[in-house]
Chains A and B, each alone.
Chain A
Amino acid sequence: MTAVADTVGPHIDLTAKRGWRSIKSAIMTGLMVASLAAVVIPLVAVIWSVAARGLAVAFQSFPDFFAKEIPVVARRPGPGMGPAIVGTLLSTGAATLIAVPLGVLGAVYLHEYGKDNRFARLVRFMGTVMTGVPSIVMGLFVYVVWTLQFGYSAFGGALALACLMLPVVIGASEQMLKLVPIHLREAAYALGTTKSRTILTVVLPAALPGIVSGALLAVARAAGETAPLLFAVGAATEYNLSLFGEANTALSVQIFANANSSFVAAQERAWGAALTLVLLTFLVTLVARIFTARVASQR
């Protein structure tokens, strides 16, 4: 019997009392349930706090909070977060337009051209490493190469967010390209289609729902980022619809600034902004999940 147990790995003492062994197993299962609770409790607590404190602020005399400009004097009570919402949408939107096409193109190289050659392996490896680069480092990097020359703007923030999104989009898109059956490509080649046309008209459309899902998850993460925006975007209190040239702001930056404030009015605005940001990121994530479900049902 010991010989059999040895091939499995660590020794299991099957001669011990069955009762104690199943109690031990039940205790460990209980601990697993407890750790699940340890995840659910903070999640519920955070969402409950944000909802309880944010709803009152954000929906008092609707739609003032979402439309009015940010009070210049922090201790003055009252709405709004309009410019921050616009700023978040501008930076995140521009970052998406930069990072998603480049990321998909990079994934196309990795899966359709490079495959397992040395360069592709290096890029794949460093891409995974790049997802772990702290977002504040990306923020300072963009400060050094962009903001120092061109000043505060929503575009600087977009550049920093795009740097964060790029490796995520590459990784997710490559996974989706792997799911496209090889016979689709072969059928296109058999018709005399060039490789680039095959990729653009056959492979990418087939992988599109999955790529959209991966890109949206990256967008949701980027929209919530604060650190990359601190050094590049500035802290405007008025609406700024231009992408370049002038200081802008963002929901996350406003939450950070107001959470540090000792004024109740500022803290209330932080909760309202937090609710807005959480709703925004959850919404984007939900849409991503719908696309994921579509991919799963297609297969």
Chain B
Amino acid sequence: MLDLRGHHAHADRAFRFAAIGAAGLVLLILGMIAVTMTNRALPVFRHMGLEFFTAIRWSPPDSLFGALPFIWGTLFTAAIAVVLAVPISLGVALFITQVAPPWLKRPLVYLVDLLAVVPSVVFGLWGVLVLSNYFSLGRSFLTAGVILAIMIIPIITSLSREVIETTPTTDKEGALALGATRWEMIGAAVLPHSAGGLVGAVMLGLGRAMGETIAAALVIGSALGQITLNPFAPGNSMPAVIANEWGEADTLHKSALIALAVALFVITIVVNLIATAIVQRSMKKSRGT
């Protein structure tokens, strides 16, 4: 019998194991993040108990660590960002897929992607030295929300564009053949078809907005104890606190900041799990039909 594999079999198997290992690294890193960081966060939980999540006072010199205002700030700024970014992203995605002539599509895609290439710290620098000075927004929840919106527009736009492009041409042409205008065609064929995927895209944007650190750290104002619906008030968010306070933190304070990171990790993982599941299911469904 002719054995063409022969002495290469060992190399073949080794390569396969290396590949499995590399793929498994994703799971290993996520698991290690959860375990090692929770371990480092334990001192503050022993000190504060679950009040860490419900107390309002954050005063490191008094060893008081109540994270609620930061959790609120994270959710509030992310919500502002999503409210601002979603209509704009959807408009751009619809323009690129339904309105723009073919030669214009690629340049527009590159243009939106260019926003994603600008480093977040540069947006932060611009936000703190230009936006907050010249547009008299000051450093506030709203300023942070605006900067975060600019930063999540590219991801929401590109995902929406991909989802929208899966709309069958026959659906669109059917609507147009019935005499629908372009907007009616979008309302009747494109949006119902893409709804699931669009929800997922928005949630991924939400996850990004909650985790974005540096730009928020520069423009949010670093105010303590702010739980308010006033967007013009200065506030703070979980990643911003971590970035701004790490330098002068002692051991228990560091543990509290790591605990914030663990909370942030859990929240963003949950949001991303749901979003990814929605996107994958809607993509599979639209490919199936």
Q: When the two chains form their complex, are residues B182 and A35 in contact, meaning their CB atoms are under 8 A apart?
A: no
Q: Does B220 contact A (CB under 8 A)?
A: no
Question: B22 is contacted by which of A105, A125, A135, A200 (Cβ under 8 Å)?
Answer: A105
A35 to B85, CA, bound (A): 10
Q: Are B91 and A32 in contact (CB under 8 A)?
A: yes
Q: Give the number of residue pairs across the A-B interface with Cβ within 8 Å.
A: 294
CB < 8 Å neighbour of A194 from B8, B91, B243:
B8
| A46–B189 CB distance below 8 A | no
Interface-side segment among B43-51, B61-69, B224-232, B257-265: B257-265
Query: Which of A31, A49, A113, A227 sits near B126, CB closer than 8 Å?
Result: A49
Contact A125 B280 (CB under 8 A): yes
**When A34-B91, A45-B126, A123-B24 are in contact, do A4 and B178 touch as well, CB less than 8 Å?**
yes
The stretch of A60-68, A140-148, A150-158, A241-249 in contact with B is A140-148
**Cβ-neighbour of B119 out of A32, A132, A137, A281 (below 8 A):** A281
Over the window 1-20 of chain A, the binary record of Cβ atoms lying under 8 Å from chain B Cβ atoms (1 yes, 0 no) is: 00011001110101000000
Least CB distance from A232 to B in Å reads 11
State the main secondary structure of chain A at its contact with B: helix
Inter-subunit contact A132/B239 (CB<8 Å):
no
The B248-276 residues at the A interface (CB cut-off 8 A) are 257-258, 261, 264-265, 268-269, 271-273, 275-276
Chain A contacts with B in 195-216, Cβ cutoff 8 A: 195-197, 199-200
Is there contact, CB below 8 Å, between A225 and B117?
Answer: no
Contact flags A231-267 to B (C-beta < 8 A → 1, else 0): 1000000000000000000001001100110000001
Query: What is the total number of residues of chain A having a CB less than 8 Å from a CB of chain B?
Result: 95
A115-146 interface (Cβ within 8 A of B)? 119-120, 122-123, 125-130, 132-138, 140-141, 144-145
B181 within 8 A of A: yes
A225 and B192 alpha carbons, distance in the complex (Å)? 37
Q: Does A297 contact B (CB under 8 A)?
A: no
The answer to whether A42 and B150 have CB atoms under 8 Å apart is yes
The residue of chain A having its C-beta at the shortest distance from the C-beta of B19 within the complex is A109
Q: Cβ of A145 and Cβ of B32 under 8 Å apart? A: yes
Residues 209-229 of chain A: 1 if any B CB is under 8 Å from the residue's CB, otherwise 0? 000000000001101111100
A residues in contact with B204, CB < 8 Å: 132
Chain B residue with Cβ nearest A104: B22
The proximity string for B residues 232-245 relative to A, scoring 1 for CB distances below 8 Å and 0 otherwise, is 00000001001100
- Complex contact B188–A144 (CB within 8 A): no
Please, which residue of chain B has its CB at the minimum distance from the CB of A40?
A: B111
Q: By the criterion CB–CB under 8 Å, are A29 and B183 in contact?
A: yes
What's the minimum C-beta distance from A11 to chain B, rounded to whole angstroms? 8
A185 within 8 A of B: no
Cβ of A43 within 8 Å of any chain B Cβ, yes or no, is yes
C-alpha spacing A9/B210, complex, angstroms:
35
Does B70 have its Cβ within 8 Å of any Cβ on chain A?
no
B105 on the A face (CB < 8 A): no
The residues in B between 152 and 204 inclusive whose CB is less than 8 angstroms from any CB of A are 153, 157, 171, 174-175, 178-184, 186-189, 192, 204
B261 touches A224 (CB 8 A): no
Q: Do A224 and B212 touch (CB < 8 A)? A: no
A72 interfacial by beta-carbon distance below 8 Å: no
Given A10-B192, A134-B239, A145-B32, A224 and B265 contact (CB-CB distance below 8 Å): no
State the Cβ distance, A42 to closest chain B Cβ, in Å: 5
Q: Name the residue of chain B whose CB is nearest to the CB of A274.
A: B122
The answer to whether A110 has its CB under 8 Å from any CB of chain B is yes
Pairwise interchain contact A137-B211, C-beta atoms closer than 8 A: yes
Residues of chain A lying within 8 A (CB to CB) of residue B180: 12, 14
Q: Which residue of B lies closest to A50 (CB)?
A: B122
Contact with B along A265-294 (1 / 0, CB 8 A): 001001100100110011001000100000
A298 interface contact, C-beta 8 A = no
Report the bound CA distance from A36 to B258 in whole Å: 39
Complex: A144 Cα to B183 Cα, angstroms? 53
Are A123 and B26 closer than 8 Å at their CB atoms? Answer: yes
The reply to whether the CB of A114 lies closer than 8 angstroms to some CB of chain B is: yes
In the assembled complex, the Cα of A125 lies from the Cα of B213 at a distance in Å of 24
- Contact present for A140 and B258 (CB under 8 Å): yes
Given contacts A39-B92, A122-B27, 10 further A-B contacts (CB under 8 A): A5-B188, A10-B187, A29-B99, A32-B95, A137-B264, A137-B265, A194-B5, A196-B16, A259-B124, A278-B122
- 6 pairs, CB–CB < 8 Å, chain A vs chain B: A14-B178, A50-B126, A132-B204, A137-B37, A256-B217, A281-B119
